[in-house]
Structure 1
Amino acid sequence: MKVSYQPFYRELCRVIAKEFIYTDPSRTMAYGTDASCYRLIPQIVVRVNNEREVQQTLVLAKKHKLPVTFRAAGTSLSGQAITDSILIILGDNWRQYKIFGDAGYISLKPGVIGADANRYLAPFGRKIGPDPASIDACKIGGIAANNASGMCCGTAQNSYQTLQAMRLILADGTLIDTADSESVASLNKTHGKMLEQLGQLAQQTKANSHLAELIHHKYRLKNTTGYSLNALVDFDYPLDILTHLMIGSEGTLGFIAEITYRTVEEHPFKASALFVFSDIEAACEATRILKQQPVSAVELMDRGALASVENEEGLPDFMPHLSEDATALLVEVRAADADTLKNKMAQIMSSIAGFTLEQQVPFTDKPEEFGRLWAIRKGIFPAIGAVRPVGSTVIIEDVAFPIEHLAAGVRDLRKLFIKHDYNAVIYGHALDGNMHFVFQQSFDSPAEVSRYQIFMEDIAHLVAVEYKGSLKAEHGTGRNMASFVELEWGSEAYELMWQLKNLLDPNHLLSPGVLLNRDHQAHLQNLKLLPAADKRVDSCIECGFCEPVCPSTSLSFSPRQRIVMWREISRLRRSGDDNKRLKKLEKDFLYLGDATCAATGLCARRCPVGINTGELIRDIRTQRNMRYERIARWTADHFTTITGGARLALNTIAATGKIIGQPRFGKMTKAIHVASAGYIPLLTPSFPRGATSPKAPKLVAGDLKVVYLPSCASRTMGPSTNDADQRPLTDIVESLLNKAGFSVIYPQKLDSLCCGMPYNSKGITSVASERLADMEQALWEASEQGKYPVLIDTSPCALRAVEGFTKPMALFEPVGFVNHYLLDKLAFTPEDSPIMLHVTCSSVKMGLSAPMKNLLDRCCTQVVIPDGIHCCGFAGDKGIKTPELNASALRLLSQQVPANCVEGVSNSRTCEIGLTEHSGVPYRSILYVVDRVTKPLS
């Protein structure tokens, strides 16, 4: 750490817990990464948990004259969330929200994920206006600070237009709540001169007819280039001007601590159609007509964009055969009821009846059908990212043309691609003239940087000068376009922006170089290199979409950060440079990257290019754990003995806890775990007794038979000591199956069977594969070569079988089996009580989230699915070997358990242990509840 930061660091440690201040090279590099094509490494990263900590950090930064940058989710594409100074990131306490005014308003802290805000509003038929493509990962702080929009919100429903109130912290640490009259009165006393100057700037701007006309023109389009100068012509009251300037300011004028939005209607009825025109001109002319129609979204995709996904499964057969210049419009319409939707579709079809279409998919209101159409649009970027050359990055530029010039603008864009030898594709939000173009770029040579420089200069001149458009329509100016703000706006407006910056951040300590930069070469500095690291992750573009579902994000590294650090380690290994730094990073990675990775692969479901970072970690473990293969193979060969010994050990532990008391037992085992530096597992009071071995099954008259494989976890681990229901899961399964008329068949040598997951998670893949093959053969024989279905009672083991078996068997985990075979054989009597539901990673991957919720809806009157809980982080033995991972993943769980809730369900025995420990209520297999509330149909 630089000496100049030491005094600041020492003082900061007096006001913020040291554990939330990071200065080590691993965390600063990993936490300092965003989705842009730039790389800066902060000197200090501060994880703030409340407004007071933000204020204190800003006051100290001002005292020591050190720059500060704010970060929400880090999904921004233009470099506005990185710094080489002090980076402020959000802790857990920024996730609160409040809905009021008959759901006409929602107040959101900056750490709320955009999609979660919409989920909170969904029961009221409302949503927030902004709808960026990254809404499943980006946070409200970034949405507001960048004035992010999206496919449907246009310029009418973005943050600027739907802002109701704001809590914000100025550069000097002053907190303002615009909905609190006392706070406003205090601001008038302490910052009256600043407010007066804002009012004067607004008056001068309104009086300058040329400048006012320019501002009105610029915001007729989507525009996030520079500051929101429209605040100076749209409002008279200085505080309104101030809050609307904060929208789109990218953290360069202050910190948005809370924002209140006016919500917008979310129509429940939707339909989509795909219209393919022979050329871009026809598509753009149709867009001008559609803009006058009741459409919700019109997405344009040129031939290159369509070609990038044309061979994907489930897409229209005609796509590979479209003409060279074919251009598609994906049109969506929404309505409050089915009749209105039907009338809107007819009106839209009538409006474009004069166009000759090369191909079309007519309007459909069936979700599975229009979902496939939107898969075309959503699949473009991942398809391009997946095939980019190793070492290059994918850049998404974001411009807007006046819609009357859209066709000509797109044509000229294509000419620039050819001129500079870029194989780019174009797609975007046609109603607003907002086009994204995507291209692959390497920065590993001066020639490539020079090519990029000249290309961007030509782009800027084309869009901003020739067509008077926006160089940034919705992605934010950032570092990427800061050098071109004056070119787009002209000197007069540009200097006005600097006046605003000087007024609100006189010391230029908030993200200097972002949004405004007098260095016209700034966009070419600190360009990010993406060196090869491993074929599993080389396609990563560091977007951060994976982070919300990762259980270790708040503890150590997210998948994105693991990849960032592995790239740096791989680069240093190849170069032979800075061996001291390499050893430090390797040592840190053992814990931050490896030991705290659950390796469940849930990240792959959120990744645009399908990267499973867990596969990289397992491969690293394989290389490290090969020396333990002989031990692993011995345990596999003596598996019956191992499981028997484990049952005995669990019963001994349970008896010890009962003798000395559970609180004392918990403290003792924790102390032993800590003293052994984690080598001795942590055994909590929630840990189970040993299970009893399955007995000979009861045979039922009839032809219904099922092969039942209790997983090794179910065969080993019974209920927890404090659980009111002490029946083992095998008894529950047999009871449920028997009442439905099924005879149970157990495979031979049951106690020796294992799917191999314990070995696979540690990277000992050869033993894992052998164990899986043995289990497959046993089930093949027990099912009489696939004649009978197979039930595996925990979802992780079932997923291993589904993914790894080669023989044709009908494989089910509990939810799938009940839904497929038992619903028409059982009568459900739901209980009037809430039940917590945790859908395991493996269940999510098998598409069982909705079926599991629907099944539990049959069993109780209230199903509680807690926010922010995705993977539980127990991950096999991680829950006892690295219990802090489980604790971190479930840190938000206990506060979401209703007061009258006494039970939770899942379908993985190990996950249920951690869920029980961190919720305070016992978690069991969902089959316990199903068995309890059902009777045979008479």
Structure 2
Amino acid sequence: MSALIDALRQRLPAHRVITDELRRLAYGTDGSFYRLIPEVVAEVEDENEVRDVVELARTHSRPVTFRAAGTSLCGQAVTDGVLVLLGEGLATCRIAPDGATVKVGPAIVGAEVNRRLAPLGRKIGPDPASINAAKIGGIAANNSSGMCCGTAQNSYRTLASIRVLLADGTVLDTGDAASRNAFHASHGMLLDSLARLSDEVRANHALAERIRTKYKIKNTTGYSLNALVDYSDPIDILSHLMIGSEGTLGFISEVTYQTVPEYAHKASALVFFADMETACRAVVGLKQQPVDAVELLDRASLRAVADKPGMPPLLKTLADGATALLIETRAPDAPDLQRRIDAVLAELAPYPLIEAPSFTTNPAEIDRLWNVRKGTFPAVGAVRKPGTTVIIEDVAVAVPDLAAACLDLQQLFAKHGYTEAIIFGHALEGNVHFVFTQDFGIESEVARYAAFMDDVCAMLVEKYDGSLKAEHGTGRNMAPFVELEWGTQAYGLMKEIKALFDPEGLLNPGVIINDDPQAHLKHLKPMPAAGQLYAPVDRCIECGFCEPQCPSHGLTLSPRQRIVGWRELSRRQAAGEAPGQLGEDYLYMGLDTCATCGLCSTACPVGIETGALTRAVRGENLSGVARQLGKLAADHFGATQALARTALKAGHLAEAIVGPKALGRLTGGKWKEGMPTPQPLTYRATRSDGDKVVYFPTCAGRMFGADTPEHALSATVIRVLERAGYAPIIPEGVNELCCGQSFASKGMADDADRKSAQLEAALRKASDNGKYPIVLDASACSLRMKTFLAERLPVFDLVEFAHDALLPRLMLQKKSDPVLIHLNCSARRMGFEGKLKQLAAACAVQPVMPPEVKCCGFGGDRGFVVPELNAHALRKLEVPAGCCGGYSSNQTCEIGLTNATGLPYRSIVHLLDECSEEAARLATC
């Protein structure tokens, strides 16, 4: 293997040939319950690099697996050979002028493609539940579908063309005539073999009809044999065989989709039936009506989410056996939507329902209803025992068989003791998922799982001729059962296809085609308990939904990968093993480069905030000296800030002598160009009449000033408050006060809480026991105090207060130049995106909030300690032409943004100040 690694380093930059134990473990983990650790991870940025890696792996006879987002659930993206990790260079997207087609690279996230298509009223057809994290390479390679796309809008049906790299290094672009002609010349034998297979299948009427029948319902078990009966051109056959091939036939380097309409008008209803059979009978009729989604939820799934916030009260009182259908219909305009609603209600009218059905078009209500459906899977995951994993299976039957199949599944749950199992899914396609928890650390439990799977597969195949995998792909989990579902003849076709494309068997071996009947019981992922410091981490199912939110993803580790590494360290500690180099590497990759921004929790199905784990581990690792220094700083906070201001003045003096770039190099990137000057320690409110409001100038705002005292943050906030008719009150002893956030981020929880309590007392006194609103000028501090206070006092973030209270009172003159807006992670977590956008829109004609930028990565002081985190997080930030500046609501974030763009970033209150001042000036002219 060392020879292969050396060869890879000759073709790829050395930092993209990854051999350390921590990242091989972490990067090699996907959303399934299988664990294989790659020998090497090769990160590739273009098709040529993929070709180089495949060629070298073939030369050294090592297996190759391609990895996009790793949200796959059946073991498609794990390997003990070479893992090819797709880099951002493959995240391309080109939209046709009319939006009818979109050409996308395999590394772009599905939701990002839809975001770019949205202005044209279009989207891609596949809509998996993982679309906010899943990438196009995985969506196409698994032929993913989802709640609305059914069988008509999946990748197979909406494929316009495809570009693939085969095992021998040849590239075929089916959308390019020259490429097709060249491939005919170079690979005529392969094309002739595909044409022969197609002819043989068509001549075998029984086999051809069986294939057509199998694809009348969702089916991703095995290869896409429908390509052999749907197409006669061997290149068309080849391109459609690639869909759903899970990286076993070649590498998909580009896909061109025919897009589908995305209607803006939607309505949803949650309809309750007394029993499963009646609900499923209704589905048969609904399939003939203008509905876009019908999601089935059995009684167990409804019970699992009944106690969650915002759930309908009826969920707690339903009788056993009750079943719900979540129905959605969409239309291009409101009148058409109403016609569709009326048609659905007419279809439901004959059925005895628990309560009268009612559709809502209110987006918030629609979200609330869909949260019932989305909450089912994580609800099971959240209550499982430590050390167990969550398994979600995915099957389909003909819609008329749906009720009987679901009842049979429930009987098998009872037979094998899976009492917590739930059933939900896409009833309109006869496609349901069932979720249960499993312990793979006990031999008897593995045997129980094996017996259950044998019974499930036999029941679905023999009784219903169903699909053992409807949309999640075959993977390792269902590979031993492909022949059971398809029969010997069809399975033989699949093996022949595999041999034609990959004669050496090096592309993702063990996936789809696997002659080991016990393959699904091997390489099972251990899930050691790791929650001693932060218990919610044990709920992690390693799905990867968190990764697009994380500023360090792609630099070091994502939240999922941090948890994977921490679980292994916890396992070693419990077993009395040394942490080794993995433990050393975790200090930087797991702890130092975690921004602790908490955005991972907003995407996590079970609400885990990995930053809380990081803070807990940091606290555990603190030395006695560090703890004493932290306590000293907390006890003498004013003096500590004075020292920091002195250091800041010294930095500016050094900058004047050597220049900002040189000083930045001398400090290892810790000194930033455009670093603010120290803030003067005066907070003068001149207005005594008007509505009283308590204003707390936060630490960073007190530390970092501006070019002139009147432009300092605190002075600007006071000025705008007074201009809006408020009389600001500054808490007594403000320079000694701190919300505790800076201590919490370093793991000093006790010191943080002590400072928060001290601030609470000061705010309580200043606000006359909560009589007056309290405004904080940094979103991170606002979030900290809102959480700590738990509504004991009326605390408002500046963004929130400016939107709700200041906008109605201020006259504003809009800026004509573009302005950049940054929604920092704390404001995002508090749900202030809409308010920040509306503030910006009231002040500027062209406000721009770059959609691909989430957390800036500055993370309080992380931008000083590990500046590469800040640079990586903002690598996609583009400045529009003519932009005059940027605005946010966190001072340290603004430092990092200024450094990254070269533009001055300041608090959003400065924009309000400038626009309201200009409006006042114009009014007096």
Aligned with 2:452 (options 447, 452, 455): 455
> Is 1:710 aligned to residue 710 of structure 2?
no
Deviation at 1:180?
Answer: 2.2
Aligned with 2:521 (options 524, 537, 550): 524
**Higher mean displacement: 273-282 or 430-439:** 273-282
Aligned with 1:484 (options 466, 481, 497): 481
How many residues are matched? 915
Hey, what does 2:21 align to over in structure 1?
Answer: 25
Distance 2:239 2:912 in 1: 53
Aligned with 1:312 (options 308, 311, 319): 308
Deviation at 1:807?
Answer: 6.8
Q: What's the secondary structure of 1:448's corresponding residue? A: helix
- After the TM superposition, which residues 895-910 of structure 1 pair with which residues of structure 2 at under 5 Å, given as runs? 896-910=878-892
Hey, what does 2:912 align to over in structure 1?
Answer: 930
Hey, what does 2:433 align to over in structure 1?
Answer: 436
Hey, what does 2:253 align to over in structure 1?
Answer: 257
Deviation at 1:204?
Answer: 1.7
Distance 1:224 1:236 in 2: 21
Distance 1:289 1:319 in 2: 25
Query: Structure 1 residues 806, 507: closer, same or farther in 2, change over 3 A?
Result: closer
Alpha-carbon contact 2:803-2:838 (below 8 Å) kept: no
Q: What's the secondary structure of 2:477's corresponding residue? A: coil
Distance 2:621 2:443 in 1: 38
Distance 1:725 1:291 in 2: 68
**Higher mean displacement: 87-96 or 685-694:** 685-694
Alpha-carbon contact 1:252-1:514 (below 8 Å) kept: yes
Q: What's the secondary structure of 1:690's corresponding residue? A: coil
Distance 2:662 2:244 in 1: 54
Hey, what does 1:851 align to over in structure 2?
Answer: 835
Q: TM-score, normalised on structure 1?
A: 0.96
Deviation at 1:626?
Answer: 5.4
Q: TM-score, normalised on structure 2?
A: 0.97
Hey, what does 2:895 align to over in structure 1?
Answer: 913
Q: What's the secondary structure of 1:488's corresponding residue? A: helix
Distance 1:884 1:932 in 2: 33
Q: What's the secondary structure of 2:841's corresponding residue? A: helix
> Is 1:365 aligned to residue 366 of structure 2?
no
Query: Structure 1 residues 95, 725: closer, same or farther in 2, change over 3 A?
Result: farther
Aligned with 2:643 (options 642, 645, 650): 645
Hey, what does 2:561 align to over in structure 1?
Answer: 561
- After the TM superposition, which residues 197-596 of structure 1 pair with which residues of structure 2 at under 5 Å, given as runs? 197-423=193-419, 424-534=421-531, 535-577=535-577, 579=578, 582-596=579-593
> Is 1:128 aligned to residue 112 of structure 2?
no
Alpha-carbon contact 2:672-2:899 (below 8 Å) kept: yes
Alpha-carbon contact 1:425-1:439 (below 8 Å) kept: yes
Distance 1:609 1:704 in 2: 42
- After the TM superposition, which residues 799-878 of structure 1 pair with which residues of structure 2 at under 5 Å, given as runs? 799-805=783-789, 808-878=792-862
Deviation at 1:751?
Answer: 1.0
Alpha-carbon contact 1:300-1:329 (below 8 Å) kept: yes
Q: What's the secondary structure of 1:413's corresponding residue? A: helix
Hey, what does 2:84 align to over in structure 1?
Answer: 88
Distance 1:358 1:529 in 2: 43
Alpha-carbon contact 1:536-1:615 (below 8 Å) kept: no
Q: What's the secondary structure of 2:667's corresponding residue? A: helix
Distance 2:454 2:117 in 1: 43
Letter in 2 for 1:869: V
Distance 1:238 1:689 in 2: 68
Deviation at 1:846?
Answer: 0.8
Letter in 2 for 1:508: G
Deviation at 1:360?
Answer: 4.6
Alpha-carbon contact 2:109-2:133 (below 8 Å) kept: yes
Alpha-carbon contact 1:718-1:726 (below 8 Å) kept: no
Deviation at 1:319?
Answer: 1.4
Letter in 2 for 1:693: L
Letter in 1 for 2:389: T
Aligned with 2:872 (options 864, 888, 910): 888
Hey, what does 2:113 align to over in structure 1?
Answer: 117
Letter in 2 for 1:288: V
Q: What's the secondary structure of 1:357's corresponding residue? A: coil
Distance 2:746 2:681 in 1: 27
Distance 1:239 1:27 in 2: 38
Distance 1:502 1:583 in 2: 42
Once the two structures are superposed, what CA deviation does each residue of 1:814-841 show, in whole Å capped at 9, x if it has no partner?
A: 2111111112111222222222221111
Distance 1:387 1:806 in 2: 25
Deviation at 1:49?
Answer: 0.9
Distance 2:357 2:345 in 1: 12
**Higher mean displacement: 81-90 or 181-190:** 181-190
Q: What's the secondary structure of 2:537's corresponding residue? A: coil
Deviation at 1:693?
Answer: 2.1
Hey, what does 1:677 align to over in structure 2?
Answer: none
**Higher mean displacement: 413-422 or 12-21:** 413-422
Aligned with 1:781 (options 752, 765, 779): 765
Distance 1:25 1:663 in 2: 36
Deviation at 1:157?
Answer: 0.5
Once the two structures are superposed, what CA deviation does each residue of 1:726-769 show, in whole Å capped at 9, x if it has no partner?
A: 82112221221122112221111111111111111111111111
Distance 1:486 1:157 in 2: 27
Distance 1:583 1:65 in 2: 30
Deviation at 1:37?
Answer: 0.8
Letter in 1 for 2:209: E
Deviation at 1:235?
Answer: 1.1
Distance 1:419 1:736 in 2: 68
Letter in 1 for 2:687: L
- After the TM superposition, which residues 647-662 of structure 1 pair with which residues of structure 2 at under 5 Å, given as runs? 647-662=645-660
Letter in 1 for 2:678: G
Structure 1 residue runs of 5 or longer lacking an equivalent are 674-681
Alpha-carbon contact 1:271-1:370 (below 8 Å) kept: yes
Hey, what does 1:608 align to over in structure 2?
Answer: 605
Aligned with 1:597 (options 594, 600, 609): 594
Deviation at 1:865?
Answer: 2.3
Hey, what does 1:678 align to over in structure 2?
Answer: none
Distance 1:121 1:78 in 2: 30
Deviation at 1:361?
Answer: 4.6
Once the two structures are superposed, what CA deviation does each residue of 1:11-45 show, in whole Å capped at 9, x if it has no partner?
A: 11101011011111111111100110111011001
Query: Structure 1 residues 498, 858: closer, same or farther in 2, change over 3 A?
Result: same
Distance 1:262 1:806 in 2: 49
Distance 1:789 1:505 in 2: 68
Distance 1:215 1:861 in 2: 57
**Higher mean displacement: 921-930 or 860-869:** 860-869
Once the two structures are superposed, what CA deviation does each residue of 1:350-384 show, in whole Å capped at 9, x if it has no partner?
A: 11211101235511111122221111111101111
Query: Structure 1 residues 663, 885: closer, same or farther in 2, change over 3 A?
Result: closer
Deviation at 1:72?
Answer: 0.6
- After the TM superposition, which residues 718-733 of structure 1 pair with which residues of structure 2 at under 5 Å, given as runs? 718-719=705-706, 727-733=711-717
Distance 2:313 2:869 in 1: 46
Distance 1:815 1:474 in 2: 43
Distance 2:87 2:315 in 1: 46
Distance 1:829 1:248 in 2: 55
Deviation at 1:162?
Answer: 0.7
Deviation at 1:659?
Answer: 3.0
Deviation at 1:189?
Answer: 2.0
Once the two structures are superposed, what CA deviation does each residue of 1:134-187 show, in whole Å capped at 9, x if it has no partner?
A: 111111111111000000000000111111122211111222222222222222
Once the two structures are superposed, what CA deviation does each residue of 1:664-703 show, in whole Å capped at 9, x if it has no partner?
A: 3333333xx6xxxxxxxx1121322112223422115x33
Structure 2 residue runs of 5 or longer lacking an equivalent are none
Distance 2:174 2:718 in 1: 62
Alpha-carbon contact 1:780-1:807 (below 8 Å) kept: no
Distance 1:433 1:472 in 2: 12
